[in-house]
Structure formats: C-alpha cells, structure tokens
Amino acid sequence: MRVVVAMSGGVDSSVAAAQLVNEGHDVIGLSMQLYDQQAGERQFGGCCSLEDLHDARRTAATLGIPHYILNFERQFDDAVVSTFVREYAAGRTPIPCVQCNGELKFTHLLDRAAAFGADCVATGHYARLDRTIPGRTILRRGLDPMKDQSYFLFTLTQAQLAKAHFPVGHLHKAEVRARAQAYGLAVADKPDSQELCFVADGNTARFVEERMPAVAQAGSIRDLGGRQVGSHDGVHHFTVGQRRRLGLSTSVPLYILEIDAAANTLTVGPRAALERTRLTASNVNWIAGYSPASSRLITARIRHRNPDAPATVKPLPDDRVAVTFDEPQCAVAPGQAVVFYDDDTVLGGGWID
C-alpha cells in the first residue's frame, strides 16, 4: 500500500513513518511549510520550524523514503492564523490545532496525497481507528491517556477518516521513544512542542495586535451589578476564567465571566459564578455522519486537558446542540470546543457559543 506520512519532524510522525516502512508499505514523506522560511523574516515557535523540516528530511533519509516539502503558507494563513486573530478580536478563545488538523492535514494534504497515488495519509496522532463495521470508520481515543489527541480530531468526516491512518495511536509515549531509538532515528529524544507554532514567545495578544491593530482599544471592566471596577486595554488579552492581569485590587479574587467584544467590556465575578451546567455549540460535526435522533447521554470535554463530564446532548436545528451537564463545569469559554464521547469512542463535537 502506498502511504503518505505527514512528517512534522517530531518523534511521533517519524516513528509512524518508520513503522509503515517496517511493515513493507510504499511510504512517501510530506512536510508542510507553513510560513516564510527566509532568514530574519520572523521567529516562529518550536513546531513546524525550519529545524523541524530539516529533522523530517533527515528521518526520511534514514528510512530511505522520498521526502517532499509542500508550501501551505497561504492555506495556513487563511484557515488557521486569520481565524485565530478574528476569534480573539471577537472575545472568543480559539483552538488553532483543530483547524490545522481538519483544514490542512485532512483536506489539503489528502488532496496532495491523491496526486501521489497514495491510498491514505498517516500522521503521528495519538488516536485510533476502528473499521470493524463495514463502510464506517470509528474514531477512538489514543491508548495513552496522557497523550490522547482525539479531542483535536472531532471535525473529521467519514470520507477523511476512511483515508486516515494513525500508526502510533495504540502506543504509549515511552514506547514511541523506545521504537525511535530502535529504528536509529535522530529525533528519538527530541522534546515535544508545547507552544503555538506561529506565536514564538507565547504572547498571543501582541501577535493579534500585529495582525489587527484596531483591536487594541481600552474598555471597561464591570462587576455582576454593572458597576465599573477597572479598565482594560483590549479584549484580546483575556479569556473566560482568567484571573491574572486584571489589575484589580479586591478582597475576593475575581475572574472573567464574560467578554463582550461589541461593547468592549469584561464582566468579572467570584469563582463560583464561573460554573455552568448548560451550553450551546454550533458547527457541530458528528463522526458517524448524522446526528442522534433525540437527546443522548454522553460524556463531554470542554477543554483538551479537562476530565470527561457526564452530560446530555440534544440536537438543535442548523448543526447546533444543547449540552446539559450532570455537574456544573467551570469556565465554559466561547470559541473552545466541546467534544462528545461514548467511553473511548469520539461521537463528534462543536464550537462553544
């Protein structure tokens, strides 16, 4: 089988490629150039950098497979970076990794893979695929609970999953590194990337301002009674649940409860006021290709690192849902994803309104 491997230069995608070669597949390595690599143009983070592209090429040479770098600068800016900036300017908290996976790796990269005559695209994601039901692909959590990345894949469709392959999803991270050592890969001990690839210093507010200067407008901070208790220098600095950098001196710690970008105001209150038992989400994708006919008991996550929470999801018109949790959830942030599970099966997810 001919397989295209999305090679990021990290240990996970490198081991994915090595395993496929070891299994006898015809493997082609593809890496995505996501921004201008000219020296001095700008500094990006520790993911998708020029060094990562070199590491991917070195791994491909070690494995004896062809390796190509694809220029996805325009697609990355349109689908990921621009969306990130617009969301923060609108007072929402985006997850760019979801757009990168759905729009780039499993849309544009799938198209390029077809041009190579490949049967599927493999990545280093910690997730698993179940194809025991004819004509259907089930997305399951990765076996390593500390590395599971299924949360970031909820937008994938049946057509995309049918062409996907996750060779390391059944492994724990320690096993992946051990296999990298056994395969003689130079990236075996390479640290995992932790930051956004396009925000090198972690200063998301400054990045948003560079792209959209008009967002830096002073506004008011108000309490639950509507009384002004302070001021801010732009809603893009904040997210729901945030406590730091408010500049308020109060006897009780205050947290951001709501961001109103149109009015340029923040509403703050005590931690208890952050708790919610209900949310709505839009642009919902159901992995099976169709929504439940009625309300369904599930578990849901409102953040990647949050534990699963028992809930009921009710389908609404226009690809929307209402989610009611059994227990209150803290800091439900618009713009984040809510992802639905049934045990280890990913049912789907949507964007929190």
Active site residues: 100, 197
Q: Which amino acid is present at 82?
A: S
Could you give phi then psi for residue 266, rounded to 5 degrees? -115, 140
Q: How far apart are CA 18 and CA 180, in angstroms?
A: 8
Residues 6+ apart with CB under 8 A from 144: 126, 171, 172, 173
SS3 content of the chain, % helix, strand, coil (to 5): 30, 30, 45
Q: Are 335 and 94 in contact (CB under 8 A)?
A: yes
Cα 197-9-151 angle, rounded to 5 deg: 60
195's CB contacts (< 8 A; 6+ apart) are 45, 46, 47, 202
Contacts by residues 257-261 (CB-CB < 8 Å, ≥ 24 positions apart): 257/224, 259/91, 259/92, 259/235, 259/334, 260/91, 260/235, 261/89, 261/90, 261/91, 261/235
